[in-house]
Amino acid sequence: MVTSRSELEACGWSVPEDFLDGLSDYERDFIRLEFTGRRTHQYYLDRLRYLDFCGMERVLDAGCGMGQWSVALAAHNALVFGVDLNAGRLALAKRLAAAMGCGNTAFQRARLEALPYPAKTFDGIFCYGVFMFTYMPRTLVEFARILKPGGKLYVNANSFGWYIHLLRDVPWNRRPALGIIKNTLLRRKQAIIVSERWLRARLDEHGFDVVAVDSEGDVSFSEHPSPPQPEPGYQRRYLGVRAIIEAAALRRA
């Protein structure tokens, strides 16, 4: 568990003195996972560079959480807008962005299924670790609405290997994992296991041309990505089965 600012600062994050004050053990553990170890500030910058999610005028960080991706996006793009449902995490994202000197960010509370932006507002939408917990068809309708033609969409989602991992290795998460499996068998469209075939079909159905779908960390909008290729945030496969899939797609004209 993160207990001091020094651990965060050693990983390239500038945070206010009281950034960790009053946080639950769960939120502190989340910060440890997402802000330290391999996941330094530079790691996020390198992931976005390899993905070629750079050089755009207006970008949405959809489900921005505490803002670690927003801060990295702000270094590579002109304007970054972060949205999330969790008011506490949004407050931390604002404070993180200010401490990191990101004057080109703005944050707002909103559901991804009902985004508060006019049509064709964004050149890119980045959605990490959130998409599969939304009502995905409606979320894709919104993403297609607010993206400009030719705009970039990045999404990722937990796939079969991730739930093998939870059932085998994380006993306190077995019940939620079984709920996800049940939702998948019932053919629901929220909180399910996402397969590559299902994701490709939904993207095509909602007006996107798929550039690539692969394991997390292996996708890029560029035919010749800038090296080096960073390691993904999570293990690529469990028992040989893909754990997390990611997709790069372009809004169809």
> Per CATH, which fold does 47-251 belong to?
Rossmann fold (3.40.50)
Per-residue pLDDT of the chain (253 residues; tens, 9 = 90+): 666 899 999 999 999 999 999 999 999 999 999 999 999 999 999 999 999 999 999 999 999 999 999 999 999 999 999 999 999 999 999 999 999 999 999 999 999 999 999 999 999 999 999 999 999 999 999 999 999 999 999 999 999 999 999 999 999 999 999 999 999 999 999 999 999 999 999 999 999 999 999 999 999 999 999 888 999 989 999 999 999 999 999 999 9
Could you tell me the pTM of the whole model? 0.97
The vertex-109 CA angle with 190 and 145, nearest 5°, equals 60
Cα of first residue to Cα of last residue in the chain, in angstroms, is 47
Between CA 161 and CA 195 the distance in angstroms is 10
Sign of the alpha-carbon dihedral angle for 129, 134, 136, 137:
negative
* 45 vs 53: CA distance, rounded Å: 10
Beta carbons of 111 and 25 less than 8 angstroms apart: no
CATH 3.40.50.150-classified regions of the chain: 47-251
